[in-house]
Amino acid sequence: MAEDKRLKKIDLIGHYPPPYGGIQVHIQRLQTYLEDNGYTCIVYDFNGTVKRKNIIDIKHNLPSCFLLNGDIINYHAAGMTLSNSLAIIFFRFISFINGKTFLITYHSMRNNLLFYNNLTRIVAKLFLRLTPYFIVVNQDIKDRLVSLNVNSENVKIISPFFPPVINSSDIELVPSHVWDFINSHHPIISANASSISFYFEEDLYGIDMCVELCKSLIESYPNIGFIFSLAKLNNVDYFEKLKSRLQGIENNFLFLIGPYPFYPILLKSHIFVRPTNSDGDAVSIWESLFFKIPTIASDCVSRPAGTIIFKNRNNLDLLNKTIMVLSEYDKYKMKVESLQINHNGKQYIDFYNLILSNK
């Protein structure tokens, strides 16, 4: 009797929310999508903050990793750090001894092997050779993998976006002072980041640019409200420097610090900005467009259709594009309302099944 190679169970390895970063949100919604379509999906969670069915805490219970037995074992990664590379080799080994198919989803690849020390380069090249399949979120990441001798046919580009289901419990998680701020300001501009990070010694998420944008708009829009949602405060010194630059806009700029869902804030925003100086395929941009919010983002990578683009790390261009939208808001609102935003859940299942058929 022939072996049944149809997909039945998927194991996802990565970070499950909270906090609500792009990868965490993707894993949460991918699991929900797979379960809603009849598949068993177990998340092996590095965060260890959630206790519920089909979420296994591997932060505090590493031996549970040896229970991995999905038809597909899908590791979710951002970049090629040494720790990430070693973890991939570890999980690749477990999938091998359990006779399971392994693949990596790369959500970003800011790290370049040329900048690594010798040990990191050796480890990274080793796991690339050991990994048969990859999902990536944009063409740039695929090109980088192919340049490292990964077979192009084994790399699939799939957007990480799954639309959120509006849930009253998510809305209730947002602190009341945020709603007070929103109700007392107009217009509302929002942005978000999973943490404070730097890329080529510049603010990766452009938090500094958001502060400057608000300061530049305050004269023309004295009641403007800017909300920056920061899932994790990991660099207090830099954060204090940012706060020191809020002089004159203290009542107009709100930092929301903590593991709160971001989409409830998006729903109340007039504009969403994404001033990153490097990126993958930002889930928050897709969410903003899905909710019909005019969206302004840097040109550091290709952005979804309908996004208004400004020059990377160019404060003046960001300001001009924001004024352009605010001054003709109805026009840009109508444009974004005409967009049709779909998710790619079926592509994941199709690729999973293709991999199994090649086993």
User: Which pLDDT score, from 0 to 100, does residue 129 have?
Assistant: 83
User: Which pLDDT score, from 0 to 100, does residue 115 have?
Assistant: 52
The verdict on 185 and 152 lying in the same domain is no
In-domain check, residue 4: no
Distance separating alpha carbons of residues 297 and 291, to the nearest angstrom: 16
User: Which pLDDT score, from 0 to 100, does residue 88 have?
Assistant: 87
pTM listed for this prediction: 0.90
User: Which pLDDT score, from 0 to 100, does residue 62 have?
Assistant: 85
The pLDDT > 70 percentage for the chain reads: 96
Q: How many domains does the chain have?
A: 2
The verdict on 243 and 328 lying in the same domain is yes
The verdict on 212 and 300 lying in the same domain is yes
For residue 303, what are the domain limits?
A: 168-337
Distance separating alpha carbons of residues 79 and 71, to the nearest angstrom: 25
The verdict on 253 and 219 lying in the same domain is yes
Detail the DSSP E strand segments found in 46-178. 55-57, 72-78, 101-108, 133-136, 155-157
In-domain check, residue 3: no
| Type of residue found at 51 | K
The verdict on 146 and 71 lying in the same domain is yes
The verdict on 121 and 23 lying in the same domain is yes
User: Which pLDDT score, from 0 to 100, does residue 2 have?
Assistant: 45
The verdict on 143 and 15 lying in the same domain is yes
The verdict on 211 and 104 lying in the same domain is no
Sites in the chain below the pLDDT cut of 50: 1-2, 114
The verdict on 323 and 185 lying in the same domain is yes
The verdict on 63 and 182 lying in the same domain is no
Residue 99: Cβ-neighbour burial (10 angstroms; 0-12, 13-18, 19+): exposed
In-domain check, residue 1: no
The verdict on 189 and 229 lying in the same domain is yes
Residue 309 sits in a domain of what CATH number? 3.40.50.2000
User: Which pLDDT score, from 0 to 100, does residue 48 have?
Assistant: 81
The verdict on 172 and 134 lying in the same domain is no
